[in-house]
């Protein structure tokens, strides 16, 4: 998604006319925006502008139109003396003041403009001919110019059309086409808010264009580079009037009429088809541009999904962009798959490696979790949280684009699937990294965020084995004034806070409990629930009701990869802290901030340097991967949310 832009960056940069509809501008409007002397119109509709609108008294003398429809303007200072066209329909102000003249639906202008003719004597042209601006009766090429954008509202102001007419005649002359003059008339807006202008092109020195002249001129009118348009006009396409142009133009030759009509009709049909195809592609491009500016225009705002995601600081990728960077979602780029969908490795045009999580139809995640992850990760940034780079919500696709994390999940590193073993010092460092990331969510995010699914498969390790917390699909923002949030119980079996499970009341201490289970995994190398045993209960039993320190009991629960029997500095304090984190009563658990401080103290007391290399391995990571396929995304647990669990499936006993 492109970043929202502030109006402050636009002040002083506007020239005669500016259209910036649907460009995600946000914030209040400063009166100096309207002060440039040369400014004639400003269209900033369909944005996120808010606050009170005050045009001030120093607005430009040439300012004829201010269009601020469909924003969030709550007040309007009406004593500024501005008497030209000001459109505020679709703002909260108009809900309070619906009768204000600025809140009325703009009426379709009735324009009777037509290119003026010279001082012609009264001439009578026959039924097939029109009077040209140069006072000649002739049979013109007639059609409609459709302008996709324009920057004025006074359709009867002939100065705009005079400039357009001069520009088009200059193009005809530079191409040495047989054109005597052109006439512009009846400008109006169509149902798509395009500007339609009738165009008559008169032949030079004859009453009618020959077939060659007709073909070349109509072809040039659909060449987007043919005319250098005045600033007030955007790109256009031309649709020819389909009346039989050659009929009756040369009554002296019936054969010529028949042949001319047949050939001309064929050319007209071909040109009409080309014009239709061109118009379709132009409309498609316009729709794609609108979709890029508002990627969630098609969001289904039902009760489950809620309003469209509000995002900051991440990119909105098109489907084609992600298709290209994954080699058409090639199986060779697939890193793994699960209930949610498939994760692909991709390379952006900048050379940056990314992981692209692509949902499949009927995935376990759904739009609500997709929205949650985008909204939360787009506004939180910390070295121990996985970074969301962007997303794609297009063509029915839901895709999330993350930074590429090289070295697997914590689960795989503990189990040995990653191909190397973690030393005790590195495990302590990973615990500190993870705790810092969670503490940031609780203490520094605004509003605070409860992750709700802390587990070892949601902790990833980068190429320096720095831990990063991932997967925010179940996370829950909490108002600063709320002590707890009542919510349906969601999480992963074995990590669920018993108090949250029983009461449905979610607090930050629920994350503390889950993190305590992760700490015990780091020590024991065991899964939370394995062969009917719950690691929390097993450790508490081995510790002798949490107080007796028997080394033999400790050795029995330690991960064999830690070389039981060998002194491990700070181990007992680490286990004590983990036991306090998994207390059944939330009030007896420390906060994550306290957990971070205690872990840092354990690291210092043990004499470890947190910045030193702390990996114990007989092979390097790259050596282990050489010649074999492996990645942290290649497992179901990374993709799936475990959802709501029945009470009978969790072990809460000591």
Binding residue numbers: 357
Q: Which residue ranges are tagged as binding site for ATP?
A: 357
Q: Which of 455, 453, 471 has its CA nearest to residue 410?
A: 455
* Sheet containing 397-403, strands listed edge to edge, beginning at the edge strand earlier in sequence: 315-316, 388-394, 397-403, 353-359, 341-347, 334-337
Q: Are 371 and 306 in contact (CB under 8 A)?
A: yes
* DSSP-assigned letters across all residues of 89-150: TTSHHHHH-TTSGGGSPPPPP----BPPP-SPPP----TT-EE-TTS-EEB-EEEEEEES-B
Is the CB of residue 450 less than 8 Å from the CB of residue 507? yes
Q: How far is CA 456 from CA 132, 431, 632, in A?
A: 80, 10, 12
Can you give the length of the chain in residues?
A: 654
Q: Do residues 426 and 559 make contact, with C-beta atoms less than 8 angstroms apart?
A: no
Catalytic residue (one of 67, 412, 453, 497): 453
CA–CA gap between residue 309 and residue 331 (Å, rounded):
30
Peptide linkage before 447 cis (omega within 30 of 0)? yes
- For β-strands 341-347 and 334-337, DSSP reports them as antiparallel
Tokens of 595: 């957990």
Collect all residues with Cβ–Cβ distance below 8 Å to 241 and sequence separation of at least 6.
142, 143, 144
* Triad 293, 296, 298: Cα angle to 5°: 115
Report how far residue 568's alpha carbon sits from residue 557's, in angstroms, rounded to the nearest whole number: 14
Is residue 193 annotated as a catalytic residue, yes or no?
no
Residues designated catalytic = 453
């Amino acid at each position: 998604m492109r970043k929202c832009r502030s109006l402050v960056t636009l002040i002083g940069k506007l020239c005669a006319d500016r259209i910036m509809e649907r460009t995600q501008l946000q914030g209040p409007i400063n009166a100096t925006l309207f002060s440039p002397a040369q400014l004639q119109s400003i269209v900033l509709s369909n944005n996120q502008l808010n606050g009170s609108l005050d045009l001030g008294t120093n607005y430009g003398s040439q300012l004829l139109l201010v269009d601020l429809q469909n924003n969030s303007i709550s007040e309007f200072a009406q004593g500024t003396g501005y008497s030209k066209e000001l459109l505020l329909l679709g703002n909260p102000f108009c809900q309070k003041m619906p009768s204000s003249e600025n809140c009325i639906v703009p009426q379709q202008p009735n324009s009777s403009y037509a290119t003026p003719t010279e001082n012609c004597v009264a001439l009578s042209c026959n039924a097939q001919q029109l009077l040209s601006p140069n006072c000649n009766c002739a049979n013109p090429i007639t059609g409609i110019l459709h302008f996709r954008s324009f920057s004025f509202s006074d359709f009867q102001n002939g100065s705009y059309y005079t400039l357009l007419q001069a520009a088009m005649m200059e193009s005809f002359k530079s191409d040495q086409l047989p054109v005597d003059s052109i006439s512009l008339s009846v400008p109006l807006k169509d149902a798509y808010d395009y500007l339609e202008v009738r165009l008559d092109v008169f032949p030079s020195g004859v009453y009618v264009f020959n077939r060659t002249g007709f073909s070349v001129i109509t072809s040039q009118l659909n060449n987007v580079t043919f005319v250098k348009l005045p600033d007030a006009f955007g790109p256009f396409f031309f649709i020819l009037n389909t009346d039989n142009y050659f009929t009756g133009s040369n009554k002296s030759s019936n054969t010529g009429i028949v042949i001319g009509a047949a050939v001309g009709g064929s050319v007209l049909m071909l040109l009409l088809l080309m014009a239709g195809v061109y118009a379709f592609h132009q409309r498609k491009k316009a729709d794609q541009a609108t979709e890029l500016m508002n990627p969630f225009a098609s969001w289904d705002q039902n009760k489950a999904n809620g309003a469209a995601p509000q995002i900051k600081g991440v990119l909105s990728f098109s489907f084609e962009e992600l298709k290209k960077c994954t080699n058409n979602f090639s199986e060779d780029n697939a890193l793994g798959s699960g209930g949610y969908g498939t994760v692909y490795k991709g390379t952006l045009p900048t050379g940056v490696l990314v992981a692209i999580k692509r949902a499949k139809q009927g995935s376990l995640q759904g739009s609500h979790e997709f929205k949650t992850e985008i909204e939360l990760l787009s506004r939180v940034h910390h070295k121990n949280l996985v970074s969301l780079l962007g997303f794609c919500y297009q063509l029915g696709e839901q895709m999330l684009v993350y930074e590429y994390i090289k070295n697997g999940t914590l689960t795989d590193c503990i189990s040995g699937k990653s191909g190397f073993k973690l030393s005790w010092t590195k495990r302590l460092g990973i615990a500190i990294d993870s705790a810092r990331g969670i503490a940031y969510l609780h203490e520094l995010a605004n509003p605070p965020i409860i992750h709700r699914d802390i587990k070892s498969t949601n902790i990833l390790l980068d190429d320096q084995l720095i831990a990063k917390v991932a997967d925010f699909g179940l996370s829950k923002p909490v108002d600063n004034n709320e002590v707890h949030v009542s919510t349906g119980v969601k999480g992963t079996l074995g990590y669920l806070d018993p108090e949250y499970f029983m009461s449905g009341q979610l607090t930050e201490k629920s994350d503390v409990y889950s993190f305590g289970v992760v700490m015990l995994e780091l020590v024991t190398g065991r899964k939370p629930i394995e062969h009917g045993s719950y690691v929390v209960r097993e450790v508490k039993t081995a510790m002798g009701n949490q107080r007796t320190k028997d080394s033999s009991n400790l050795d029995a629960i330690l991960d064999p990869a830690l070389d039981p029997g060998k002194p491990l500095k700070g181990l007992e304090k680490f286990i004590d802290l983990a036991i306090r984190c998994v207390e059944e009563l939330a009030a007896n658990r420390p906060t994550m901030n306290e957990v971070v401080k205690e872990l840092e103290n354990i690291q210092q007391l043990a004499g470890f340097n947190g910045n030193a290399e702390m990996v114990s391995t007989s092979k390097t990571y790259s050596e282990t991967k050489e010649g074999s396929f492996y990645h942290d995304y290649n497992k179901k647990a990374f993709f799936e949310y475990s959802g709501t669990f029945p009470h009978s499936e969790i072990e809460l006993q000591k």
